[in-house]
């Protein structure tokens, strides 16, 4: 194992979003590529917004994606003592101070800054309090925050692995609050203390944290640790370059699962959101991604979320999956539609797999796969309207259906080839094209105008069901059940 240590540090305040999952993936790929260690840390210090059910969901989502971690999960909330100890050390070393300014007393400064259209910066009022002044405040019962002394001049340079040097002027930074008045650390302090103490060598995270990095670097320097390297991965935006939200489709890993995506497809899709292996290759196994991954090949510019590309990717994986694996993945979707009920008997399982093998070619998701398979399990379908007009309402359709059904009843063995020869023979006998027989038959037995191989469907459905459905359609046509509207 190399010395590389990376972490994924989600806050359990919601479901795992595509942005978070992509950050986890890049950390995972980097760790595996470098032979390093992938740590999972749950940043659960926001007590009001963190929820244990979100932690469970986060873990389930990461496992489903196959992003297995080597260490953790560690819980930031259990490390309060370490955070306090480090803050005390900074106080003792006079690199931090207690600030007793009340919220109200800071409000005036904020209002003034707002009126000047400037960002508010704490003026350092409590930087040089005397012991007596501090005592007096404490007697008043004020609970102080702890602030890190930030140099008034100069700059902090973040050497970003993706963006290069990003410079932050100290005149834009005030004395950062590292401990709140309730004795809890702020995000910036807890995060960098954990990273340093956990020996994280590379902090790979979302671009939105770039502005926090100079502050965290200043903390690390004050604490006397070697800096980790930082890499800020680009944002994921909607096609119109707005912030990604629900109206752009599924955005959480749970939703992607519920829509019937395969984890490998989602992984492959997410890998390309901001990273490119360097050639035009787009469909890559996780092993290939691992061997090709580097931070240098991660883009600086925002990635655009494209549902159609994900759907295309998913359909490729649905086609390429080993049949047994696809059958396992699709089972909950078939059960939800009440097509099957597990445990499946051997015969049921055999039929189920044959159905999947046929339908998967045209399915972009497992939901579509189950939908596309439903006529194999039930004849309670409605006929596609445009098909009814085009096929059932044509003259002689009922007659053709009856003639073909009759033929199907009498052929000796009922399989792909025998059905095909029969259809050919009947169409010759009637002097019509095979399509005239095939199209209405497809509609009669599946309710659809398009679908998998026609003769395969019939062979799998079996003689009884096929013929029954054809006769039922003929009867409906004859009784003029379909309106010509």
Q: Which residues are catalytic?
A: 246
Write the secondary structure of 2-13 as one string of H (helix), E (strand) and C (coil). CCCEEEECCCCC
Token pair for 359: 């339908």
Distance CA 266, CA 257 (A): 9
Q: How far is the CB of 186 from ligand GLU (least distance, A)?
A: 12
Of 60 and 420, CB closest to ligand GLU: 60
Of 211 and 349, CB closest to ligand GLU: 211
Backbone angles phi, psi at 231, to 5 degrees: -140, 120
Of 159 and 418, CB closest to ligand GLU: 159
Dihedral angle computed from the Cα positions of residues 468, 472, 473 and 474, in that order, rounded to the nearest 10 degrees: 100
Q: How far is the CB of 375 from ligand GLU (least distance, A)?
A: 45
Of 185 and 260, CB closest to ligand GLU: 185
Q: How far is the CB of 453 from ligand GLU (least distance, A)?
A: 48
Dihedral angle computed from the Cα positions of residues 44, 191, 20 and 231, in that order, rounded to the nearest 10 degrees: 180
Q: How far is the CB of 136 from ligand GLU (least distance, A)?
A: 38
Q: Which residues contact 259 (CB under 8 A, 6 or more apart)?
A: 250, 365, 367
Burial bucket for residue 276 (CB in 10 Å: 0-12, 13-18, 19+): middle
Q: How far is the CB of 306 from ligand GLU (least distance, A)?
A: 24
The runs of H, that is alpha helices, within 95-212 are 103-115, 131-139, 187-197
Of 195 and 259, CB closest to ligand GLU: 195
Of 26 and 414, CB closest to ligand GLU: 26
Q: How far is the CB of 39 from ligand GLU (least distance, A)?
A: 11
Of 205 and 364, CB closest to ligand GLU: 205
Burial bucket for residue 163 (CB in 10 Å: 0-12, 13-18, 19+): middle
Question: Which SS3 state, helix, strand or coil, does residue 317 take?
Answer: helix
- Secondary structure (DSSP) of 198-229: TT-SEEEEEGGGGGGHHHHHHHHHHHTPPPPE
Distance CA 441, CA 416 (A): 15
Query: Is 93 within 8 Å of 114 (Cβ atoms)?
Result: no
Q: Which residues contact 302 (CB under 8 A, 6 or more apart)?
A: 234, 235, 236, 237, 241, 274
Backbone angles phi, psi at 126, to 5 degrees: -95, 10
Q: Which of 64, 18, 81, 69 is nearest to 42 (CA)?
A: 69
Q: How far is the CB of 233 from ligand GLU (least distance, A)?
A: 10
Distance CA 410, CA 306 (A): 52
Q: How far is the CB of 207 from ligand GLU (least distance, A)?
A: 11
Q: How many Cβ atoms from other residues are within 10 Å of residue 406's Cβ?
A: 13
Query: Is 339 within 8 Å of 327 (Cβ atoms)?
Result: no
Of 17 and 403, CB closest to ligand GLU: 17
51: part of which helix (H) or strand (E)?
Answer: none
Residues that bind ligand GLU (CB under 6 A): 9-11, 43, 191, 205, 209
Query: Is 59 within 8 Å of 41 (Cβ atoms)?
Result: no
Of 205 and 442, CB closest to ligand GLU: 205
Give Cα separations from 39 to 70, 74, 198, 228, 325 (angstroms).
6, 8, 9, 15, 29
Token pair for 63: 């496992």
Q: How far is the CB of 226 from ligand GLU (least distance, A)?
A: 18
């Amino acid at each position: 194992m190399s010395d590389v240590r990376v972490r994924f540090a989600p806050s359990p305040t919601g479901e795992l979003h595509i942005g978070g999952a992509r950050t986890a993936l890049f950390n995972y790929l980097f760790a595996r590529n470098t032979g390093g260690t992938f740590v999972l840390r749950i940043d659960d210090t926001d007590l009001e917004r963190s929820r244990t059910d979100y932690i469970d969901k986060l873990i389930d989502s990461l496992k489903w994606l196959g992003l297995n971690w080597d260490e953790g999960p560690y819980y930031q909330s259990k490390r309060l003592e370490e955070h306090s100890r480090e803050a005390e050390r900074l106080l003792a070393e006079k690199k931090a101070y207690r600030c007793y300014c009340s919220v109200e007393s800071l409000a005036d400064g904020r209002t003034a800054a707002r009126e000047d259209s400037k960002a508010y910066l704490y003026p350092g009022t409590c930087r040089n309090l005397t012991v007596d002044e501090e005592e007096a405040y404490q007697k008043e019962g004020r609970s102080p925050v702890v602030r890190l002394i930030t140099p008034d001049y100069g700059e902090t340079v973040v050497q970003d692995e993706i963006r290069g040097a990003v410079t932050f002027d100290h005149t834009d930074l005030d004395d950062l609050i590292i401990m709140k008045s309730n004795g809890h650390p702020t995000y910036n302090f807890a995060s960098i203390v954990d990273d340093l103490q956990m020996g994280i060598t590379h902090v790979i995270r979302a671009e939105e944290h770039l502005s926090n990095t100079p502050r965290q670097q200043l903390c690390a320097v004050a604490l006397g640790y070697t800096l980790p390297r930082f890499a800020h991965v680009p944002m994921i935006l909607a096609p119109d370059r707005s912030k990604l939200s629900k109206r752009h489709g599924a955005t959480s890993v749970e939703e992607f699962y519920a829509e019937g995506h395969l984890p490998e497809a989602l992984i492959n899709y997410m890998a390309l959101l901001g990273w490119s292996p360097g050639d035009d290759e787009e469909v890559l196994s996780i092993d290939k991604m691992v061997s090709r991954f580097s931070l240098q090949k991660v883009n600086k510019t925002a990635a655009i979320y494209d549902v159609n590309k994900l759907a295309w990717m998913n359909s490729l994986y649905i086609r390429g999956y080993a049949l047994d694996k696809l059958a396992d993945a699709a089972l909950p979707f078939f059960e939800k539609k009440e097509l099957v009920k597990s445990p499946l008997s051997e015969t049921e399982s055999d039929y189920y797999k044959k159905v999947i093998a046929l339908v998967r070619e045209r399915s972009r998701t497992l939901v579509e796969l189950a939908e596309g398979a439903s006529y194999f399990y039930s004849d309670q379908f409605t006929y596609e309207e445009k098909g009814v007009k085009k096929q059932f309402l044509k003259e002689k359709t009922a007659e053709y259906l009856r003639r073909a059904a009759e033929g199907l009843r009498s052929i000796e063995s009922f399989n792909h080839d025998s059905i095909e020869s029969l259809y050919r023979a009947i169409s010759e006998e009637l002097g019509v094209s095979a399509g005239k027989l095939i199209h209405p038959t497809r509609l009669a037995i599946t309710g659809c105008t398009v679908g998998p191989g026609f003769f395969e469907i019939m062979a799998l459905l079996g003689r009884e069901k096929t013929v029954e459905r054809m006769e039922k359609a003929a009867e409906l046509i004859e009784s003029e059940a379909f309106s010509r509207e």
